[in-house]
Structure 1
């Protein structure tokens, strides 16, 4: 079996288009099988760069055997020249193609990808309702009033979730977005009081029989991260996510040494090399690699295995299209050190679910594992027909 061509798409997420443009690749073979993968730079800025990177990398694999995922991964990493420097764009491009190849491999062998990663460790996964400051299902935010934070958490809990995630630093009391500067350095007393009030009201009104993950989106630094981390300890938070930028693992270590709440990070850490320094310093206890930008399923499995050596648990970052969710579920089903799955607010919205054939949603706070061959998901015809951009690569380049 040989790779004959690679389609690259920038999808139209309609009402989410301003912040999300999923980059999807479809790898074709001479036996009629194809596989879909995603470059995990759909949100924020960078989607056009990821689109171009997938196109460039695709030239390196034309004519190769798609079953040789390890060989192809190393070719993409080394023959691209820039791959060995790391970074989100290169790793997202590698990830998209790698996931598509695993999808082909599963289809060719007639098994779900989790079987190829070692088999299932569980039949379903616990998941949490993520980013409630933006809303949940049909209750659209953002939120400002303390009572609104209580209500949206109560709404998620009523659907069977026993864990939620909220960034308490993004919006002021009038639900207006706050600049990152207000969450950096020595925090003002009004800002601390606002967050303390929100977290305290949730615990006072709804109790402690469910978990909270506090999201920071790297808006804080080592100083403010410690100050808010003390509130995490106070309100028995499950994990404290991205309390400092991941470019300096030492700062995560500083925060870890001053609070008791486990540190979570990983969506902006790439490859085993990127995670290694966090592990050896015990700077993160819940890793959150995005399978669509950490190096795909090939590298993602290695990251999770390395995490086990350092007693770290795993929650894949999921904030892209349903392709990214499917890839994450396949890996999370197969690893012993899984902790919890992220179900993002945006993943509940039709703008994203319509882009793929299957609309997998949790039931009572638990996600089933797709059991069809491959990753268990693929692009819908609607997504292809409405794509914002599309290119087809069918010429081989030997690389450097």
Structure 2
């Protein structure tokens, strides 16, 4: 039953929904003494951060080896306590702990023969609506609107579109172009489909700009506006909240439940993004989502990585009262479609429920080895 080994595996892959750019994450493989394996993922995204995360995981491994995988909470606390100097409150330690924790939950489920969803207490809803999550990358607004509408025509309930991303879309900079984009996408999708706007790090708006833009988006029934003032601007978000009724989203760059509690208590956020590969794993996500639920805020899994984080997001979103929907990348690459035997997907706009022990997935280790960054 006890953990025999912890392996950090930094990998790189092309992401079709991010203009085919290469992304990097660190996978975590934890094996018990009977040969059962749990898999996790640390979402560092950049090569140097991924390699650094791998070294931290290797440094944390002695805390996990020899332990009972059923004791996820105790191990999680020990990992946090050990990393007190380089991980207090924030930092790459949280990303490393995330991958270890997800792998332990997967292994725990496999040892017990039950799903992570059941370990979390079971589903709190029968169905989980799905939306498309993608970046705007093309110079042609008409082409982007056509592509987004094609995705939502499969039953997806709407689309969250990233502005300021790689490619030639040039969204989030020129107000007239952005409003044309919103109008044409909504017209192409048709009634009953939500549109969410997610500002990128290249989009730098001051508070008056954010207020003006938010009011224009609100008039067009944009479902929420994400990170219009970045991830940390308490006074700016307070001013935006007072001046506009649009739903405000941010939080995916928080490292843990303490950070989520801080922004929830500010009263300036309606939708809190949570990434299980960053927010200290399934254990950390669960704690953060509970804060959202207790404060009547929506939590939203930042499911924009490999199929491992996808499976964790799937289980957590079904289990959390704060999660009302799940983002899905509408175009899968090998990191989503080929990495596992049963990638998360939807049927007529509803996410399939997890099946099987642990995360309910088996990993294509040949693909993992071919994507390694350290060999």
Encode CA deviations 1:189-243: one digit per residue, 9 max, x unaligned: xx11111111122334544421001111242334232232122201101111111
- Report the CA distance shift for 1:110/1:310 in structure 2 as closer, same or farther (over 3 A): same
- Structure 1 length as normaliser, TM-score? 0.85
Q: For 1:129, which of 129, 132, 146 is the aligned residue?
A: 132
2-side partners of 1:149 and 1:168: how far apart? 12
Residue of structure 2 equivalent to 1:354: 338
What is the DSSP-based 3-state SS (H/G/I as helix, E as strand, rest coil) of the residue aligned with 1:27? strand
Residue of structure 2 equivalent to 1:2: 2
- Contact 2:15–2:333 under 8 Å retained in 1: no
- Report the CA distance shift for 1:258/1:43 in structure 2 as closer, same or farther (over 3 A): farther
Q: For 2:318, which of 333, 345, 359 is the aligned residue?
A: 333
Q: For 1:151, which of 128, 146, 154 is the aligned residue?
A: 146
Residue of structure 2 equivalent to 1:299: 284
- 1:197 matches 2:157: no
Say how many residue pairs are matched: 370
1-side partners of 2:240 and 2:320: how far apart? 28
2-side partners of 1:44 and 1:241: how far apart? 26
Encode CA deviations 1:78-118: one digit per residue, 9 max, x unaligned: 11223552334111100100011111111111111111111
What is the DSSP-based 3-state SS (H/G/I as helix, E as strand, rest coil) of the residue aligned with 1:252? helix
> Offset at 1:356?
2.2
Q: How does 1:23-102 map to 2 (within 5 A)?
A: 23-42=26-45, 46-82=49-85, 84-102=87-105
Encode CA deviations 1:163-203: one digit per residue, 9 max, x unaligned: 111134447xxx62659xx84xxxxxxx1111111112233
- Report the CA distance shift for 1:43/1:235 in structure 2 as closer, same or farther (over 3 A): farther
- Contact 1:240–1:262 under 8 Å retained in 2: yes
1-side partners of 2:345 and 2:113: how far apart? 24
2-side partners of 1:356 and 1:193: how far apart? 42
322-331 vs 38-47, greater mean Cα deviation: 38-47
Q: For 2:168, which of 164, 172, 176 is the aligned residue?
A: 176
* Structure 1: unaligned runs, 5 residues or longer: 134-141, 184-190, 392-400
- Contact 1:132–1:345 under 8 Å retained in 2: no
What is the DSSP-based 3-state SS (H/G/I as helix, E as strand, rest coil) of the residue aligned with 1:11? strand
> Offset at 1:307?
0.7
- Contact 1:8–1:390 under 8 Å retained in 2: no
> Offset at 1:302?
0.9
2-side partners of 1:203 and 1:99: how far apart? 37
- Contact 2:145–2:188 under 8 Å retained in 1: yes
Q: For 2:350, which of 366, 372, 385 is the aligned residue?
A: 366
> Offset at 1:15?
7.0
- 1:265 matches 2:257: no
2-side partners of 1:65 and 1:51: how far apart? 22
What is the DSSP-based 3-state SS (H/G/I as helix, E as strand, rest coil) of the residue aligned with 1:214? strand
2-side partners of 1:150 and 1:359: how far apart? 26
> Offset at 1:132?
4.6
Q: Which has the higher contact order (CA 8 A, sep 6+)?
A: 1
Q: For 1:242, which of 227, 242, 248 is the aligned residue?
A: 227
- Contact 1:83–1:91 under 8 Å retained in 2: no
2-side partners of 1:196 and 1:283: how far apart? 24
- Contact 1:95–1:291 under 8 Å retained in 2: yes
* Structure 2: unaligned runs, 5 residues or longer: none
